[in-house]
Structure 1
């Protein structure tokens, strides 16, 4: 049900307010779902920046305030952890930077794998995989620390810190596992007032569960605060400037750091970028169109194959078949071989998960084929992977942290269900198959218990060293236009374009992208303006 995990790296999905795809068209004016209103000019501006130009994010003073010096001067106690070669420690940061109180300090989990050599050590390379809510500790220990290009690992300590509220860093919890099972099954495409009321009640229960369990922490998990935590870690690790690779939401975190601390920017790679100047509704609409583009790419590949479960016709027909499948699943959930059945909401999430990387396309074809024959187990497995639900029925923390950060960073798109219902035609124009789903899913922050502390803003980072932004042309979760938008805002940014599919581009199989990013990280060489990889 919850479909906006705004950003994760490919194969590690995303969720909670609106994003998805349409099987009908990858154009700017997609074919509407059957039964949708005729296409017309949207009642909302196509680009909120034209109506509400965002103010720039102001940098913080360069000098460390006296009441924060004890955090910047702390020493970490490193211990061996995880697989061979990794170390772990805890970093103390204030709950509230405006009013530090030692009794309320947070402990954030940090891991690193020291530079292996040969060659001169270049410092720490901080990594964040996105989310918001993705575990940087897990990502470093399972992926970056062993899978980043060998020359990069040779020269840098690879470092990951779970942001506040995430995974091992004071993790936010909102529901029991049983309650979460019920939550993700809730019908996210309500057909009448009764179903609308049930959906609103589910969002409200989720929000109140977070407030009941976490209280003050929910008011202090913003991206600005997470960026300030990164600056503390930078100093504690002994680096004058931050070197960083952020993917997906991690680009927003990295760009925020650059905006707050431009003089401390070293080499920043922002891969699959967000545009901080957009409202939450525009972000959701753009993601909806982004997943439409991704689904079109999947459908174009699928219909050429003998085993395509969506037929061998046009991509429009493939979208119609998927819509029919979802309608049937809404009316009659599919057996999975266990007590949980595959509902329309879970089936939608399963398809969504496969849009993050083309490597999941064969798995999705198999899952849809099986589901059409009455076995929803494979598609349910894709949904469980997206939600980080383990085989024991336990959920990870990503969905809770995701909502907490998103709902604090920006005002909710809608104030009530009536506004969401009014927006449905706009979302259906962006995604013929999934538009209704994501219009309604955007209600999640409406019931949040803490008022937002952020608003749309530009990030210019004047005076920062050169920053590299990487954008993928058919990225579903962070549409390419966002990478262009962020690169235009940042005063020292260069945009590297990957013409391809999937979410993010670095270390995903493109030698061209990897070579350009490695040259930047190792030698400070910025790609030529307008350089493209395919």
Structure 2
């Protein structure tokens, strides 16, 4: 990697999970269109439907090859233990930019792991770990019979991972966005960085820019389903990947298979509301991190909050220079948020904060390097996250409004409020997208929605509203902290396993202990 040349992220569980598949609907059927192309309308029953049966895949046009070594290299020191074999492939999908419908194409990176006959697709966050690597990690944490019933198919959604990547933000702009101090009185430096990011992405991506969004990612999944040769799409959506699956369900309601949403975005709040909700959840996650530190006797003890604030103050006057990224108050904030989201890495996060107190910033900056740095197999996460996020909303909040929110949220959410308020500047200079007309989802089989009580990426209250918005949403609430309950909560993981493997629908409202 080249050195950056410019200085510039209760209750115990209710007892048994009941099998309660909904019976056939007696309500009238409603005709809906598929992907808006030349396909005839699909007639599906409204209301809840039964859990679809599993089917063996009959792949068409996918050529898999071994990629175990390269996958482990991509995961680096955080690779899960075990001797699993991974295979990778590329799927060509239609670009379908608004100004070039039906023209152009791009490649999607796929990874498969497992021995089961039915494919189970894994879709991740646009600004987080690519779906291929998320599938590799899930394979190490899911029950064994999930991997003998299904083959996990991790998909790097458009612009991420091994797909045709979005890599348009200049190094200096990435650094400027991440290193920007939330406590700065002016927004000038951050505005300059996001403005430069927008300028370069518009020039570099041209007609591809508006095509990198969740709407088109949902159409990619239909092409993937066809290539896998199955009548229904079985899938796990992680965080923002759940939004892609919701759009898929709305567009292709007769092809919904067994789906689990592990942390779902709030479909009812606007961008400002969602962003403030994340600030609230991040504060709760840090409180849980501090409590965990006290219980474990970690080096921060019970004073994690005070010591983090003190570290930010020290970095404000004496940032720690690094080879690829400097540890500033902004970098430290993004690093802590990334660490809070990844529950298994909390011990490493505590150690990294202590090391930073002693002048060693490398452990803490390692949490933000995936967002910023490019390698042959891991393009920066930040670029695709910004482009997708800005294409998924028409909202653009003016700087003067953001300045007011920054002051307000700094008072209400002292650790992370200012940071999240300033994130609202990111999309300002980007072109406003042409919004898609999303069909109303009126009929669907049960979909299991998992929430985490202190999830700084997709807060639990938003996931609850996402479950309520589904025709047959089934809510499982884990009282823990971090982004995602699968693999972190044995109770939530068992509920997902019983649904995916045995078609047992858990009792909605089940609460899983921390």
TM range (shorter): 0.7 to 0.9
Give secondary structure in 2 for the equivalent of 1:382.
coil
Residue 267 of structure 1 contacts residue 521 of structure 1 at CA under 8 Å; is this kept in 2? Answer: yes
Show CA shifts across 1:203-240 (max 9, x none): 10011111111111111112111111111211232211
* 2:127 matches 1:88: no
Q: Does 1:492 align with 2:487?
A: no
**Number of residue pairs matched?**
452
Structure 1 residues 108 and 334: alpha-carbon distance in aligned structure 2, compared to 1, 3 A threshold: closer
Instruction: Call closer, same or farther: CA 1:464–1:498 in 2, change over 3 Å.
Output: same
Between the aligned partners of 1:253 and 1:76, the Cα distance in structure 2 is: 23
Q: TM-score, normalised by structure 1?
A: 0.77
Give the drift of 1:463.
1.3
2:503 alignment partner in structure 1: 524
Distance change >3 Å, CA 126–CA 59, structure 1 → 2:
farther
1:418 matched to 2:389? The reply is: no
SS at match of 2:433: coil
1:355 is paired with a residue whose SS is: helix
**CA offset at residue 179 of structure 1?**
5.1
Give the match for residue 408 of structure 1.
391
The worse-fitting range, judged by mean Cα deviation, of 253-262 and 127-136 is 127-136
Q: Within 5 Å, which residues of 2 pair with 1:128-167?
A: 128-132=123-127, 134-140=129-135, 142-145=136-139, 147-167=141-161
2:486 & 2:327 partners in 1: Cα distance? 34
Q: Which runs of 5+ in 2 are unaligned?
A: 1-8, 10-29, 41-57, 69-84
RMSD across aligned positions (CA): 3.0
Map of 1:351-500 to 2, 5 A cutoff?
351-385=336-370, 387=371, 389=373, 396-412=379-395, 414-415=397-398, 417-448=399-430, 450-454=431-435, 461-500=441-480
Is 2:104 the partner of 1:110? no
Question: Taking structure 1 as reference, are residues 96 and 411 closer, same or farther at Cα in structure 2, changes over 3 Å only?
Answer: closer
> Where has structure 1 moved over 4 Å in runs of 4 or more?
303-308, 392-395, 457-460
Query: 1:344/1:375 Cα in 2 relative to 1: closer, same or farther (>3 Å)?
Result: same
Cα deviation for residue 130 of structure 1 reads: 1.9
Q: Is the 8 A contact 2:320 2:359 kept in 1?
A: yes
Aligned pairs for 1:268-279 (under 5 A) are 268-279=259-270
203, 222, 226: which one aligns with 1:235: 226
Distance in 2 (CA, whole Å) between partners of 1:358 and 1:116 is 28
1: CA distance between counterparts of 2:240 and 2:288? Answer: 23
Alpha-carbon separation, structure 2, partners of 1:235 and 1:478 = 30
* 1:201 to 1:263, Cα distance in 2 relative to 1, 3 A: same
Identify the residue that residue 512 of structure 2 maps to in structure 1.
533
State the shift of 1:255 in Å.
1.3
Name the TM-score, length of structure 2 as normaliser.
Answer: 0.80
Aligned to 1:61: 33
Instruction: Report the Cα distance in structure 2 between the residues aligned to 1:177 and 1:220, rounded to whole angstroms.
Output: 23
Between the aligned partners of 1:271 and 1:339, the Cα distance in structure 2 is 33
1:352-403 per-residue CA deviation (whole Å, 9 max, x = no partner) reads: 1221134323222222222222222222222325x2636x799723211111
1:261 offset after TM fit, Å?
A: 1.9
Residues 1:453 and 1:188: Cα distance change in structure 2 (over 3 Å): farther
The aligned residue for residue 263 of structure 1 is: 254
